[in-house]
Structure 1
Amino acid sequence: MLDTPITLPCGAVLPNRLAKAAMTEGLATPEGVPTGALERLYGLWSDGGAGLLITGNVIVDRDHLERPGNVVIDRPPDAAMARALERWAMVGTRAGNHLWAQISHGGRQVQKSVNPAPKSASDVQLALPGGQFARPVPLTRDEIAELVRRWAIAAKACRDAGFTGVQVHAAHGYLVSQFLSPRANLRDDDYGGSLENRARFLLDIVRAVRAAVGPEFPVSVKLNSADFQKGGFAFSDSLAVAKWLEAASVDLIEISGGTYEQPKLMGMEGMEEEEAQDIAPSTAAREAYFVDFAKAMQDEVAVPLMVTGGFRTRAAMVQALEIGAADVIGLGRPMCVMTDAPRRLIEGLERLPRYEDDLEVIPGWLGFLKRLQMMKAVNGFAGMAWFYQQLWSLGHEGHGEDLAPFKAFLALEKRNKAILAARSD
């Protein structure tokens, strides 16, 4: 069943049901141009058997990076940028798979070191310790219109370069997700207040992107099932938005969840108690985080759904497909190490390793420290840095790297500082 093709509403065909989900790479030049390291990484993934590869954040505003080293398309590409995109697309599709560019904007989730005055829906600051994120400045209506235009520019540039689809990132607390959230969006104009108004930015983007790429090119949206925060974007909101996206000719909706404040997407605990959602539990959800949300959504919409987060066993993936909870299964962290995980699963591999289980900075005998909120964050971000290091090593060396999580975190910080210094020169 994992190797069954699927035809999307636009007519494009994915060769199987396994996708490499978007993971931020940080492998572009300081100016945001794709590099040979990105090409090497995506060549490995193309050879790995997934029917679909989705890139990490391709940013539409160079002043709002999700992290240093993002690819940036915020204007029509010049000749050098166009060639770099073409090379990336060529190696990323060399095995006959799809390659979609995930187009995004960091909004208020941009660190001060990148932008001390980020833009967002309104001026609600991230409630995170450490002071790494500044209070944002609300976008003007003209700025919103300009960003919609840039999403279309980026989508067309990727299509022209040979990418086979695009994904609008409207999840995980980034800018579009900030507009959708009643906690982050306190506007009193046509882009705030009711859910219809809060979804206007996303729907404007989808319409502009569709107009730029045409009716036969896949357009996807990554959408939170919920923010899992009190008073935030709830599953009932997500379901309504999904219906609007279906009407707007979206070809695939990827279901995820959480924000930096409530990082459900990474299986981490947030800074506040998780807000429960009115969803019936199932056995499939014991492994994969968002299966039940997708199943409930699938009962209401016909657009194909992709579910990402937590999948490690072949049995759970097949079950999610069989019960109609998912049409495509997204894999993330396992592919930072096992780049051919999709092929192995299709050939019968029963279980993927859970690498994150061995990546805690705080040792077990200091269990009391592990329960502290700050220490949970330290463990979580050091683990993330370890996966980032694997991507860096795959891109530069063609293989992973056995590095302790804290050393990986220090290496990441050093690279980020070097990239930012080069951008300011």
Structure 2
Amino acid sequence: MSTQVQLQDRLTIRGIEFKNRIIKGAMSEALANDAGQPNQDLVSLYDVWGKGGLGCAITGNVMVDARAKNEPGVVVLENERDLTLMKQWAEVGKRHGMVQLIQLSHPGRQCPRGLNKETVAPSAVPFSSSLSATFGTPRALSEVEILDIIRRFGESARLAKKAGFEGVQLHGAHGYLISQFLSPLTNQRQDQWGGSIENRMRFLLEIYKEVRQQTGDDFIIAVKMNSADFQRGGFSEEDAINVAKAVAEAGMDLIEISGGTYEAPAMAGAKAKQRKESTIAREAYFLEFAETIREHVSCPLMVTGGFRTVKGMNDALASGACDFVGIARPFAVEPYLSNQLLAGQDIRYATKPIKTGIKALDKMSIMEVVWYAAQFKSIADGKQPNPNLSPLKVLFNYSRRNLKTVLTGKLNSRKSA
């Protein structure tokens, strides 16, 4: 009898059982209201995924500070205001035996102009010229503000546990604030939070300590981190190995390997054409790097991005390169995908880049967020997702809502000035 790990195998972390090795990776649902409040749409969406046999779901971005949102429709968890609905959301997972991890995030500088009163970051580093019209130059955080954000991550995690979620994932990838601290391109500080990789990872490690202190030993803490930024002079693979070793030694329960930022969006498959044939044959974008990380850490690893066949997933698990298979975008068009995979059936719909024909937008990969969010809304409403949905139609609806949010924010700021 084979002892090789397969999709259907169980795994227990901190006394919490994962009924299979399939995890829905985080994707922006964009279903909350302008105040960042969750609603029945989110409950319904995750209920469908739970019915579909999913072992674990990682939520989309949940912000730790209402003053720092990355997009309209994002959930904010900073106090007990919405605890009743958060409990309903958590209960969905328990009902279906689906572990749920809240992805906690702070966007830092990665916020569209006008969405928030201001943007902050480790350093006042502007975006590249191609994106500077969309994202403004941030203000550098003070030491007091850094400590406050660390506290906020801990408080949000405490609230997630109180609501009934099994754990959290700290978003340390894709150019969000933790990722900004890790990268020498965006972190040019000269104090204890910048410079060497030991200093640049301090923010993440202090967040982990705060979250663990506020939640205890029976709560899962995961981290999503880049294998690299794919930008010259940025967060390197050597940096990533050092960070992975440090967080594993600190007690991190699960490391998800991803890569890229808005300026170099490898997480959306933008780097896929540059991959070697041998890598393409193994499907997952970051599987080779996961093998490198495995040489240095013993905690569970998750690889997300590129998996499309049951064989590719089982081969990755059997190789020991990863302990969980992360799948994101396919769940937007095949909500019952987990049961399908466990029955030996491959993903049916090939994921392809969502393009509008507007070069500036397509380069940012913004449609990789909003097109899938439109599918989530259909699922939440009890409708079938539409793989052929027009990107331009989605863009029009999103822009209309975004404009309303930005204008409302500007009016409110004028009133309070």
TM-score between the two structures when normalised by the length of structure 2: 0.92
1:277-304 per-residue CA deviation (whole Å, 9 max, x = no partner) reads: xxx9854665211000101111111010
- 1:406 maps to 2:392: yes
2:254 corresponds to: 252
Residue 47 (structure 1) aligns with: 51
Q: Secondary structure at the match of 1:232?
A: coil
* Whole-angstrom distance in 1 between the partners of 2:60 and 2:251: 23
Match of residue 158 from structure 2: 156
Give the Å deviation of 1:225. 0.8
Match of 1:300 in 2: 296
Greater alpha carbon shift after TM alignment, 297-306 vs 281-290: 281-290
Conservation of the 8 A alpha-carbon contact between 1:109 and 1:126: no
Q: Does residue 1:68 correspond to 2:72, yes or no?
A: yes
Is the CA contact 2:56–2:99 (under 8 Å) kept in the aligned structure 1?
yes
Q: Measure how far apart 1:421 and its partner are.
A: 4.8
Residue number among 75, 80, 85 corresponding to 1:77 in the alignment: 80
C-alpha change, 1:262 and 1:397, in structure 2 (3 Å) is same
Contact 1:122-1:137 at 8 Å conserved across structures: yes
Q: Which structure 2 residue ranges, 5 or more long, are not aligned?
A: 1-5, 413-417
Q: In the TM superposition, what is the alpha-carbon distance from 1:333 to its structure 2 partner?
A: 0.5
Aligned to 1:315: 311
Instruction: Note the 1:134-145 alignment, pairs <5 A.
Output: 134-145=136-147
2:114 is aligned to 113
Q: Encode CA deviations 1:34-87: one digit per residue, 9 max, x unaligned.
A: 11111111111111111100000010111211111111123x313xx1101111
Partner of 1:88: 89
After superposition, residues 340-359 of structure 1 pair within 5 angstroms as: 340-356=336-352, 359=354
Residue 296 of structure 2: SS of its match in structure 1?
A: coil
- Secondary structure at the aligned position of 2:95 is classed as coil
Deviations 1:112-145 (A, max 9, x none): 1213630000011121525011111011010011
* Letter matched to residue 303 of structure 2: V
Where in structure 1 are there 5+ consecutive unaligned residues?
363-369
The answer to whether the Cα contact below 8 Å between 1:169 and 1:223 also exists between their aligned partners in 2 is yes
Pairing 1:313-392 to 2, within 5 Å after superposition: 313-356=309-352, 359-362=354-357, 374=360, 376-377=362-363, 380-392=365-377
1:172, 1:259 within 8 Å by CA — same for their partners in 2? yes
Distance 1:142 1:19, change over 3 A: same
What's the % identity of the aligned pairs? 40
User: In the superposition, relative to structure 1, how do residues 157 and 398 fare at CA in structure 2: closer, same or farther (>3 Å)?
Assistant: farther
Deviation, 1:90, is: 1.3
CA contact (8 A) 1:284 1:320 kept: no
C-alpha spacing 1:267/1:284, structure 2 compared with 1 (3 Å) = closer
Where does structure 1 differ by over 6 angstroms across 4 or more consecutive aligned residues?
none
Aligned positions of 1:227-238 closer than 5 A:
227-238=229-240
CA distance 1:84–1:108, shift in 2 (3 Å)? same
Give the match's secondary structure for 1:107: coil
Aligned mates of 1:94, 1:207 — CA distance in 2: 31
Question: Is the contact between residue 28 and residue 369 of structure 2 (CA under 8 Å) also seen in structure 1?
Answer: no
What does the per-residue CA deviation read over 1:166-209, in whole Å, with 9 as the maximum and x for residues that have no partner? 10100000000000000100000000000000000000000000
Q: Could you tell me how far apart the structure 2 residues matched to 1:117 and 1:283 are?
A: 41
Task: Please give the alpha-carbon distance, in whole angstroms, between the structure 2 residues aligned to 1:120 and 1:92.
Answer: 34
| Secondary structure, aligned partner of 2:372 | helix
Cα distance in 2 for partners of 1:383, 1:157 equals: 30
Aligned residue in 1 for 2:3: none
What is the 5 A alignment of 1:74-223? Answer: 74=78, 76-78=79-81, 81-115=82-116, 117-130=118-131, 131-223=133-225
Aligned to 1:6: 11
Distance 2:205 2:281 in 1: 30
**Structure 1 letter corresponding to 2:321:** A
- 1:356: Cα distance to partner? 2.2
Cα distance in 1 for partners of 2:311, 2:129 equals 37
Q: Structure 1 residues 216 and 340, CA, compared in 2 at 3 Å: closer, same or farther? A: same
| 2:377 partner amino acid | W
8 Å Cα contact 2:355/2:362 also seen in 1: no
- 8 Å CA contact 1:383–1:405 kept in 2: the answer is no
- Return the alpha-carbon distance in structure 2 between the equivalents of residues 285 and 234 of structure 1: 25
Q: Are 2:330 and 2:347, in contact at CA under 8 Å, matched by a contact in 1? A: no
TM-score, with structure 1 as normaliser: 0.90
Alignment length, in residue pairs? 404
- Are the aligned partners of 2:287 and 2:321 in contact in 1 as well (CA < 8 Å)? yes
Distance 1:89 1:419 in 2: 28
RMSD: 2.2
